[in-house]
Amino acid sequence: MPARMGLRGNEAVAYAVKLARVEVVAAYPITPQTIVVEKIDELISKGEMDAEMIHVESEHSALAAAYGAAVGGVRAFTATASHGLAYMYEMLWWTAASRIPLVMAIITRAIGPPWNIHVEHADIMSTRDTGWLISMAENNQEALDLTIIMFRVTEDPRVYLPGIVGLDGFILSHTVEPVEIPDQEAVDAFLPPRRQPYTIEPGDPKAMGNLVPDEYFEELRMDMHRSMLEARRVIMEAGREYGKLTGRDYSGLVECYRCGDADTLIVGMGSWMGDAKVAVDMLREKGLRAGALRLRWVRPFPWEELREAGLGKRLVVVLDRSISFGHAGPLFLEVSSALEARPSMVGVPAGIGGVDISYEDIARIVEEAYGMVEERGRVFIPVYWYHLGRFYRLSPGAAPPEAVARAAPGAGGGGG
């Protein structure tokens, strides 16, 4: 029988790593990731998990060591956040372009200065173009499930790329939620023995990362792109299979909440999409037909799902927990590329650096955007930044920002 426990998000990830029979973990501590590795260390020291833990002197070395182990033929894992991820960045490229399956958890956190240990998606979004698969959990159960699923997807010969499981710092990492831990037998049935394109072993030397003609380099990059596109199908298969074994289906790259008959969609990723669902219910009670579409996967990008979901919609509001300075929120940019039906769109960066955003804030954001559509017919606003109850129109090409700051409908002030 699967056990049901109260677990912090970080502990849920640690249990997933144990269930996946990971043999080497290498990591360097950073808030809010530390508990992941502490918990794994504890499981190893209690004899519940049979793995090597390598304590290294930096995140660059952490991924280098995990990568080395993975190249050697074992399931390997690391976890980091924020500055640690920034320090690790070069090795992300080495791992992905070497086509070596490996799983990493990123506990999303702002990157300083100024110093901030709270949630922001700037760190995980900086991995977007490195060739890693990227998923994002909404809750602790999903953090556990996605970690297990990620091992299977990354080790599929159609993919052979490493993968990231993201979970929001503190909101999930340090918050206890009920989590169902699958049986080892179920996970063993789900995860085949490790597969990878090659191993490097003593007695069979290979040269890695050698200089190649430019044409070959481009061919390697084309194949990474092809494999990433192919990963969509692999994820759907694995998610469906996982559902059969655990009762929790992950066949969708996105999760839709009351999307079908909605004329307004809230799109985003991570923990606050749970609040968005509450906001949807609130808005529907007021007569606004809202729905929430959560991106469970960022890479591969669920382009088809978004294109379909955008058909017949009047308004799509994209919530971003980071900003691409000088343009817009990264999710807004990505989502707008897939909405061929061209509904009204409003991009809303918010909650950056852990600024609290409640379901009431999300409902206010949607009401404000909807009001603009009612007023003007069609709107396309890449950046309508929501900060402490006020909106700041900071789109490229927009009027001077302060002139268009507006209080949210029903906002009690604050920040004014």
CA distances from 64 to 95, 102, 163, 197, 365 (A): 8, 11, 15, 18, 43
Range 192-212 burial, b when 16+ CB lie within 10 A, else e: eebebeeeeeeeeeeeeeeee
Instruction: Please report, in angstroms and rounded to a whole number, the separation of the first and last CA atoms in the chain.
Output: 54
Least CB distance to another protein at residue 300 (A): 16
Residue with smaller CB distance to another protein, 176 or 212: 212
**How do strand 406-407 and strand 390-393 relate by DSSP bridges?**
antiparallel
Residue with smaller CB distance to another protein, 10 or 98: 98
Coil vs helix vs strand at 388: coil
Residue with smaller CB distance to another protein, 210 or 412: 210
**The residue type at 320:** D
Residue with smaller CB distance to another protein, 145 or 156: 156
Range 123-139 burial, b when 16+ CB lie within 10 A, else e: bbbbbeebbbbbbbbbb
Least CB distance to another protein at residue 208 (A): 6
Pair 386, 358: CB distance under 8 Å:
no
Least CB distance to another protein at residue 341 (A): 35
324 vs 326: CA distance, rounded Å? 6
> What six digits make up the tokens of 375?
């007023």
Least CB distance to another protein at residue 96 (A): 11
384 vs 264: CA distance, rounded Å? 16
Coil vs helix vs strand at 173: coil
Residue with smaller CB distance to another protein, 216 or 380: 216
Residue with smaller CB distance to another protein, 98 or 322: 98
Least CB distance to another protein at residue 102 (A): 15
Least CB distance to another protein at residue 238 (A): 16
Cα 376 to chain centroid, rounded: 34
CA distances from 270 to 22, 135, 151, 231, 339 (A): 25, 9, 20, 21, 21
Residue with smaller CB distance to another protein, 202 or 287: 202
Least CB distance to another protein at residue 373 (A): 46
Report the greatest alpha carbon distance in the chain: 72
Residue with smaller CB distance to another protein, 33 or 196: 196
Pair 106, 122: CB distance under 8 Å:
no
Least CB distance to another protein at residue 213 (A): 7
Rg (CA), the chain: 21
Least CB distance to another protein at residue 98 (A): 6
Coil vs helix vs strand at 303: helix
Q: Around Cβ 50, how many Cβ atoms within 10 Å?
A: 11
Least CB distance to another protein at residue 217 (A): 8
Q: With both helix axes pointing from N to C terminus, report the angle between 59-71 and 82-97 in degrees, rounded to the nearest 10.
A: 30
261 vs 136: CA distance, rounded Å? 25
Which residue is it, tokens 């794994």? 40
84 vs 220: CA distance, rounded Å? 28
Contact residues: another protein, CB under 8 A: 97-99, 157-158, 160, 197-198, 204-213, 216, 219-220, 223, 227
Least CB distance to another protein at residue 205 (A): 4
> What six digits make up the tokens of 284?
């529907």
Residue with smaller CB distance to another protein, 95 or 344: 95
Residue with smaller CB distance to another protein, 101 or 382: 101
Residue with smaller CB distance to another protein, 5 or 200: 200
